[in-house]
Chain A
Amino acid sequence: MTETDMQNATATETESQNASGLSDISPVRSAEQIAERDIKVRCHEVDVFYGTSQAIKKVSMDIEDKAVTAFIGPSGCGKSTFLRCINRMNDTIDICRVDGTIELDGEDIYDQEIDPVQLRARVGMVFQKPNPFPKSIYENVSYGPKIHGLAATKADLDGIVEASLKRAALWDEVKDRLDSPGTGLSGGQQQRLCIARAVATAPEVLLMDEPCSALDPIATAQVEELIDELRQSYSVVIVTHSMQQAARVSQKTAFFHLGNMLEYDETGKIFTAPSHEKTQQYITGRFG
């Protein structure tokens, strides 16, 4: 199976415009191109409550396509909570309630008509701790395509697995042992496996919740490189505690503080000339 087949699989599933982005491996874009990026996710006045306490207060932001958006802020500021709103993972928490609107390609994802399970196929997620299934590497990657019917034949599935592992820069390391358990890999490899697994479902948006916090610097560098590549085809949202990481990988950065989004701008601007005093203090390490 070639990458073209993979595109077909993606296209039949979502029919979205960025499916063709899989083969779009252009080098780093120019500043003008960055300015012209489309809006992928539009959030308007989002409130999140855990029981009676409010975790997110009236957050509105537009997340761009084919770009990396970083959420930074001190612990407990709500950035992870907000991230989990975007693929409705908060639905699994009984006491959690979300108000406001979040639109994916102009469609309200909290609409009655929308099936959260189907939504999560379009908005993939990578978690803080690498959490491969205790199954083989192949089964880990092929699970998503299988349950969503992305592959008609075994050959198709093999192709998706190979392409996804290649995208996650893991193929060369594991191609000889696809049947060995995913839990037997090193931490960094496991996290890349999780990314490959998320990529295999051909999502449009990829959410990453502190993907490097459990990794050593070398593995972190590999994953960051990977994120930069994934940007070519996806809208990537990453929550991170590392300011350097946000500066390295993201195009846009949002600063969260106590459930409020204080600032949201081009990454370069946030780190050089933040408009908010708290942001200034946070990025210079004076609190947080």
Chain B
Amino acid sequence: MTSTIDFTDLSAKHTSDETKKRLKQRYWAEVRLKAYGMLAIAFAGAALLLLTSTIVTKTTSVVYEYYVTLEAQIEVSDRDQERLADPNPRLRANLRRVVGASLQETVPGEVGRAEQRALAGLVSGEAGLELGDLVKADPSLIGQTISFDALLDDNTQLYLKGSYGRPETINSSGTLTLTPVEGEDGVVEAKVGPSALTEVFEALRDQRLTEAQRARAEQRRQQNAVEVWEQRLLDAETEEERSELESRLEASRFQRDAAASKADGLMQQATVRREITFEMGNRDPSLFLRAGEGWIKATAVAREYVRGEFFEPIEGASFPEGEWSALMMMSPEIERPIDDRQVVWLEDFSDRGLIVEKFNSRILTVSDSASAELAGIWGALVGSFWTMMVTFLLAFPLGVMASIYLEEFAPKNRTTDLIEVNINNLAAVPSIVFGLLGLAIFVAGIDVHIFGYEIQIGGFLPRSSPLAGGAVLALMTLPTIIIAGRASIRAVPPSIRDAALGLGASKLQTATHHVLPLAMPGILTGSIIGMAQALGETAPLLLVGMNSFIQEPPGDPLSPGNVLPTLIYQWNSNSERLFDDKTAAAISVLLIFLVIMNALAVLLRKRFERRW
């Protein structure tokens, strides 16, 4: 080399401006990286917060369930008498007639035949059975009148929680004067203060505007159709075709005109400022007038006037301001499962303090049911318990033995390398594949034809059983346990093995006396994490049929059962709304178990962590 490097020059570069600039860039890059990291963490944290808060809010809504307190006079038919006398506790008597009768006693007015169904529909079918249980336990109650809390139906409970909205008091100014309408029973006209109904008017006008817009849109659609048919008619060639198109054109024209006139009518109602009477249908918000213990449901509203029908009779004809109230419920009757009649009953119960909130232990203690208010997770919990037991008993010993063999005894050659690679890959196989494998081998079995003989391989586990599910999950968990086991066995320092071997311990003694006890906390940690994964697993269990509708907890691993995740899956796809909240509750329970298991794993790791 001819050129020489002057290191003094190079050293001078450390203090040059260029270096300072580079330093600044470096700092800036660090700041940027930190900011990205913090952003990512904030994002993840927000997502987690959103998830947990949603689940917790939904769960809290099923912490309580609602009952209505009834004065029930226990009168039983001969058939019920027979059932009540039967010693078999599984044979339950359904005293729904007693419940129905006490409900009718509880509401103030007369209940017409048609309304009886709606009234009985407020309470759950379980109420009659629970009353039956009560009487069965104490037959001396027959003939007496007792106070009984009847479980409410799922929709009723949702209504009381406010899921469909509740009637809200609006401006109730002026004096309420009632005038019965001649010749029409139960129909009444009411006069109220001049500004009392403004809110209702606005709501009804909005409603009509919206409806009118919808009608206009329909009108435009039909107009389009009309134009299309007209065009086609011009192009039509055969007589047959023509007549077909003409009839269609006629229909479209008719619908267009109907929509147009509807829109016109509605627009007129909505825009006329004075002296208009709105007829209220089931698509409109509901308006109630309340005085004393009575209720009126409005059927038409004009300024200062309301025409309506008595839902509960009102004593008296004139009420000064403050002694009556107007209530409006924004959600139209057609959009909620609780009709106006039921709303009035429930509000009445509520005001009289008959609605009781009780802690919902049912969800934890009973199994699945078709009725949302009666469904619980007990059966799934038991199923999960059996499944986990089977998984643990299969996967843990196998996993520990496999890892001990691979780490301590197996020669290091191509075969063991291949096995290792395969085990690592198995841990990454989608769980549903294990489900298919389990279904094919454990549940269905494979028929093999050899030399004319037909041999069935597998197919020895009953479908839907925790045994089958547990076996499938064991397949899935096995690689996790083996990997964790091998890692913790490898982490035991070789000096311990040397010490034991140097004392004349055999390989087996070294492994079982020294290596395994030291590796055990690590293996257990890995196993618990694997089990937690298995506890939350759904897909493979769906395939072996653990998503059946099961109303009894499985008594043993061979009876059909389901597990928490599959129950959640089933509930989530159910259309009844209360199942939504119950799904969240089941998810909470599952999450609590997962958190406990993971905490246990962390605790174990911390407790037995060794530094060599």
Contact with B along A184-211 (1 / 0, CB 8 A): 0000000000100110010000000000
Closest to A88 in B: B501
Q: Is the CB of B503 within 8 A of A120?
A: yes
Could you say which residues of chain A place their CB within 8 Å of the CB of B509? 147
Asked if A1 CB lies within 8 Å of chain B CBs, one says no
| Contact assessment for B505 and A131 in the assembled complex, using a CB-CB cutoff below 8 Å | no
Q: Please tell me the size bucket of the interface on A.
A: 20 to 34
Contact of B503 among A94, A129, A198 (CB under 8 A): A198
Does B514 touch A at the CB level, under 8 Å?
A: yes
Q: How far is the CB of A93 from the nearest CB of chain B, in Å?
A: 11
Shortest Cβ distance from residue A128 to the other chain B in the assembled complex, whole angstroms: 9
Pairwise interchain contact A129-B504, C-beta atoms closer than 8 A:
no
With A94-B412, A147-B509 known as contacts, the answer to whether A134 contacts B518 (CB < 8 A) is: yes
Contact A89 B503 (CB under 8 A): no
Asked if A120 meets B504 with Cβ closer than 8 Å, knowing A94-B411, A94-B412, the reply is yes
By CB atoms of chain A within 10 A, which of B412, B495, B496, B501 has the most? B501
Bin the interface of chain B by size.
20 to 34
**Contacts A131-B496, A133-B514, A147-B509 hold; do A89 and B502 have CB atoms under 8 A apart?**
yes
Taking CB atoms, residues of chain A closer than 8 Å to B607 are none
Assess whether A87 is interfacial by the CB under 8 Å rule: yes
Contact A144 B504 (CB under 8 A): yes
* B-facing residues in A100-127 (Cβ within 8 Å): 117-122, 124-127
Q: Which residue of chain A is the closest to B411 with respect to CB atoms? A: A94
Q: Taking CB as reference atom, which chain B residue is nearest A200?
A: B503
At the interface, yes or no: B14 with Cβ under 8 Å from chain A? no
In contact, B411 and A121 (Cβ under 8 angstroms): no
Residues of B within 8 A of A194 (CB): 499
B residues 475-513 near A (Cβ < 8 Å) are: 493, 495-506, 509, 513
* Pair B498/A144 contact, Cβ less than 8 Å: no
Whether A127 lies near B504 (C-beta < 8 A) is: no
- In chain B, positions 323-352 with a C-beta closer than 8 Å to chain A are none
Q: Which residues of the other chain, A, contact B610 by a CB distance below 8 angstroms?
A: 134
Contact of B501 among A89, A122, A132, A197 (CB under 8 A): A89
CB <8 Å contact, B499 and A120: no
Are A131 and B503 within 8 A (Cβ)? Answer: no
Please tell me if the beta carbons of A89 and B498 are within 8 angstroms of each other in the complex.
yes
A144 with B503, Cβ < 8 A, contacts A131-B495, A133-B514 known: yes
Query: Which residue in B411, B412, B499 is a CB contact (below 8 Å) of A131?
Result: B499
How near does chain B come to A146, taking the closest CB pair, in angstroms?
9
Most chain A beta-carbon neighbours within 10 Å: one of B498, B499, B503, B509: B503
Chain A contacts for B499, CB-based, 8 A: 127, 131-133, 194, 197
Beyond A129-B495, A147-B509, whether A124 also contacts B501 by CB under 8 A is no
A127 touches B502 (CB 8 A): yes
CB distance A143 to B503 under 8 Å?
A: yes
B501 near A147 with CB under 8 A, answer no
Contact of B498 with A118 in the complex, beta carbons under 8 Å: no
Interface status of A166 (Cβ within 8 A of chain B): no
Give A198 to B498 CA distance when docked, in angstroms. 12
Q: B607 CB to closest chain A CB, in angstroms?
A: 14
Question: A52 interface residue, CB < 8 Å from B?
Answer: no
Interface residues of A in 53-111 (CB under 8 A from B): 87, 89, 92, 94
Interchain CB contact (< 8 A) of A147 among B496, B502, B504: B504
Whole-angstrom CA separation of A125 from B500 in the bound complex: 10
B495: chain A residues at CB < 8 Å are 127, 129, 131
A37 adjacent to chain B (CB < 8 Å): no
Most chain B CB within 10 A, of A117, A127, A132, A194, is at A117
Residue on B nearest A145 in the bound complex, by CB: B503
8 Å CB contact of A121 from B496, B498, B503, B513: B503
Q: Is A148 an interface residue (CB 8 A)?
A: yes
Whole-angstrom distance from the CB of A137 to the nearest CB of chain B? 14
Q: Which chain B residues lie closer than 8 Å to A127 at the CB level?
A: 495, 498-499, 502
Q: Across the interface, do A117 and B411 meet the contact criterion of CB distance under 8 Å?
A: no
Which of A117, A124, A132, A134 meets B506, CB within 8 Å? A117
**Closest A residue by C-beta to B498:** A127
**Cross-chain contact B503 with A147 (CB below 8 angstroms):** yes
For B500, what are the chain A residues with a Cβ–Cβ distance below 8 Å? 133, 143
A and B contact pairs by CB, cutoff 8 A, 14 listed: A117-B506, A120-B501, A121-B504, A125-B502, A127-B498, A131-B493, A131-B495, A131-B496, A143-B500, A147-B509, A148-B504, A197-B503, A198-B502, A201-B504
Chain B residues within 8 Å of A, Cβ to Cβ: 411-412, 493, 495-506, 509, 513-514, 518, 610
**A-B CB proximity, top 6 nearest:** A121-B504, A125-B502, A131-B495, A120-B504, A144-B503, A131-B499
